[in-house]
Amino acid sequence: MRIFPPVEEKIKVTFPAQEAEVAISALSGMTTPPPDKEWTTTRARVQVAIFISSKSDLERLLVGVASAEIDWRDILVKGGLAESNWPMVAKDAGFDIQIHETT
């Protein structure tokens, strides 16, 4: 999974079609957290944080992706998903992330 399906769905309904393509491409191309299976939950969490912090603005989303490539933990803070209550915060924003790893 390169992009968390619920994030892709939200992008498609939030952004105009052309902007949605750019946003999906940017999120799919992220190299950190890696798209490896053991990072599935963390990657989804980061993508949700990027979406939340973008406030439906493509430029903010792209900045979030670039920031996550430098240090993805910073975007968790910005998106409100850095604390132990992050699953509930994500769920309240419409994203139910199933926890599959210990990272």
Candidates 1, 76, 62, 65; CA nearest to 32 is 65
Is 26 within 8 Å of 67 (Cβ atoms)?
A: no
Does a structural domain hold residue 100?
no
Q: pLDDT tens digits for 58-81?
A: 999 999 999 999 999 999 999 999
For the beta carbon of residue 9, count every other beta carbon within 10 angstroms.
12
Instruction: With 0.85 as the threshold, say if the pTM is over it.
Output: yes
Neighbours of 59 (CB within 10 A): 9
Tokens matching residue 41: 């939950």
Average predicted confidence (pLDDT) for the chain: 93
Instruction: Note down the domain range covering 78.
Output: 5-92
Q: Does a structural domain hold residue 98? A: no
Closest CA to 2 of 57, 31, 23: 31
Is residue 59 domain-resident? yes
